[in-house]
Amino acid sequence: MSASPGTTEQQTPTTATGKAWTMLIMATIGFAVNFWAWALLSPLGPLWRDDGTLGDITEGDVALLVAVPVIVGSLGRIIVGALTDKYGGRIMFPLVSLATIVPVLVIGFFAQSSLIAILITGFFLGIGGTAFAIGVPFVNAWFPPSQRGLAIGVFGAGMGGTAISALTTVPLYKTNEALPFVLTAVALAVYAVAAWLIMRDAPGRSTPTGSLVSRVVANSKLSITWLLAFLYAVAFGGYVAFSVYLPSYLKVAYDLDPGDASNRMAGFVVIAVIFRPIGGWLSDKFGAIRVLAACFVVVAIGATIASRTPILEHVGTAAFLGMAAALGAGSGATFALIAKVTEPGRVGGVTGIVGACGGLGGFLPPLLMGYIYGRTGSYDLGLLLLAITALVALALTLTVIKRKADEQAAAAA
């Protein structure tokens, strides 16, 4: 593959060295720690509403409080991805980690008495969510094409950092209101120092020239960027939507108690996280197009079955866990495909745009599901819309995206 104008040609490694795996481990830890910080407000929002810590706030206020860092973290990936192309992960991982410490500590010690203060610091907390756009180009440069799907999938499992927050934040907060924030800040600081000492960018890494704005604009003009953004919005956006909304759905549709619903949601998240690297590995073996197609078929079937509100034991559980596996694997396969169809010097920038769309893609489905339930008293139509969206993604994967991937492969030959 020829380098794009303004880049230096990357010397692609032929085999993954031990150092490459060390870099992957460090990047994955960094992703998990930053996502842990990014998700701190989500478990605390309902608690603050119920105990009056922030005064008399509404459910809408809680939703806004949770949404602000997620939106900022999603959109911020566009800029951070482009900066990573320019400066490399060795600089960007410590920089983002250190920057995230500031809002974490401000919330922990100063901002918990005011909704406005939480919203302002929550904006800057979103910086932690941009770490994803650092790791993909960083890992991509260290691994040969035959192993990039697996490597990026393993890195993507760092999204399990949100589970650390979900499991630990409230218990720690009840012990001491500042404790979860202090521990997260310490973890970020330790990681930033370790990353600076241990991490190195891959030899021969492609370095683009030109301004940040010109590179973002150039990446946004690539049709493959938006096609992949749609696929990721369906795959990762579907995962985000279910991880946020599944407890409410199970409570209403199956009359489960909140504890049981949350445990089942945790199972959904674990399956999705496990299958993300599996999706990348399968993409290395069989091709990302085939894996994505299979994933969207499973999602369409699972959503159709779920729309009939079948008995939860066995049938319903299988449908939701099948969708979890498919959404996780599909997320991994999407970035395996990015590594194959994107010039090395553009991977960070394209990853930023695609990652942003994936993060934002998780917001529309819960809003739509709530609206549909309010109008019809049922979630059936919302799940059928998911099935239809998956079929649209399947059609795009097997036609336009496959053709562009084939063209790119032919050009690189």
CATH for 208-413, options being 3.40.50.300, 3.40.50.10470, 1.20.1250.20, 2.130.10.10:
1.20.1250.20
Residue boundaries of the structural domains of the chain: 12-206, 208-413
Work out the pLDDT band at 413, boundaries 50, 70, 90: low
Paired tokens of 271: 């399956």
Phi (first) and psi of residue 297, to 5 degrees: -65, -45
Domains 12-206 and 208-413 are alike in CATH topology? yes
Specify the CATH number of the domain 12-206: 1.20.1250.20
Cβ atoms of 265 and 246 within 8 Å: the answer is yes
pLDDT at residue 3, as a whole number = 44
pLDDT at residue 381, as a whole number = 92
Cβ atoms of 120 and 66 within 8 Å: the answer is no
pLDDT at residue 6, as a whole number = 45
Radius of gyration of the chain (CA): 21
pLDDT at residue 113, as a whole number = 85
Q: What is the pLDDT of residues 173-206, one digit of tens each?
A: 999 999 999 999 999 999 999 999 999 999 988 7
pLDDT at residue 10, as a whole number = 47
Residue type, 399: T
Q: Buried (b) or exposed (e) across 236-272, using 16+ Cβ within 10 A? A: bbbbbbbbbbbbbbbeebeebeeeebbebbbebbebb
Rounded to an integer, the average pLDDT of 358-380 is 82
Q: What is the pLDDT of residues 213-268, one digit of tens each?
A: 898 998 888 888 999 999 999 998 888 788 777 877 888 889 888 678 878 888 89
Please state, in angstroms and rounded to a whole number, the distance separating the CA atoms of residues 259 and 265. 10
Work out the pLDDT band at 14, boundaries 50, 70, 90: low
Q: What is the pLDDT of residues 281-329, one digit of tens each?
A: 999 999 999 999 999 999 999 999 999 999 998 899 999 999 999 999 9
Taking all residues of the chain, what is their mean pLDDT, rounded to a whole number? 89
Rounded to an integer, the average pLDDT of 130-136 is 94
Tell whether the torsion through CA atoms of 167, 173, 179 and 181 is positive or negative: positive
CA end-to-end span of the chain:
7
Q: In the 8-state DSSP scheme, what is residue 3?
A: P
pLDDT at residue 267, as a whole number = 87
Q: Which of 39, 48, 47, 103 is nearest to 66 (CA)?
A: 39
